[in-house]
Amino acid sequence: MKRVLAAVLLLMASALAASAQDIEARLTHQSMELYFDCLQRAVTKLDDYMSDAGTIARGAMGACNEEANDVALLSAGRDGRLAKPLREFIDAKGLEFGTTYVLKHRAARRSVPPPASPKPKAKPKPKGESI
């Protein structure tokens, strides 16, 4: 009986641990999505279409600093020593993603045709003139 109870408790403990890891992985994934969404919004807001793409991407990264910190801390988990190298990796990927998004954003803007200008109205012919 004790062995069965021990086996059940062991199974429950491993299920809880797996569930906690799954929750941590989901939170990390969600925080990454929030970070990349923030970068996209910031690029759209900051792009002046004159500055180079890297400058706009770095500005967007600054606007999304809190989200980047969340990704690093959640990815590091309980080992706080990993937070700094993870943050450096996240910054490198953020710059890469941000720069790419700036270029795609600009290309999409160029591919949209400008609105059609209204056609000029025909001038009425003066009365009494013949052609």
Segment 68-105, tens digit of pLDDT: 999 998 888 877 788 889 999 999 999 999 999 999 99
Q: Where are the domains of the chain?
A: 29-111
pLDDT of residue 131: 57
pLDDT the model gives residue 8: 47
> Which residues in the chain show pLDDT less than 70?
1-21, 114-126, 128-131
Amino acid 42: pLDDT: 96
Report the pLDDT value the prediction gives residue 14, as an integer from 0 to 100: 56
Distance between first and last Cα of the chain:
114
Residue 130: predicted pLDDT: 58
Is this prediction's pTM over 0.75?
no
> 16 vs 1, 41, 75, CA distance in Å?
23, 37, 20
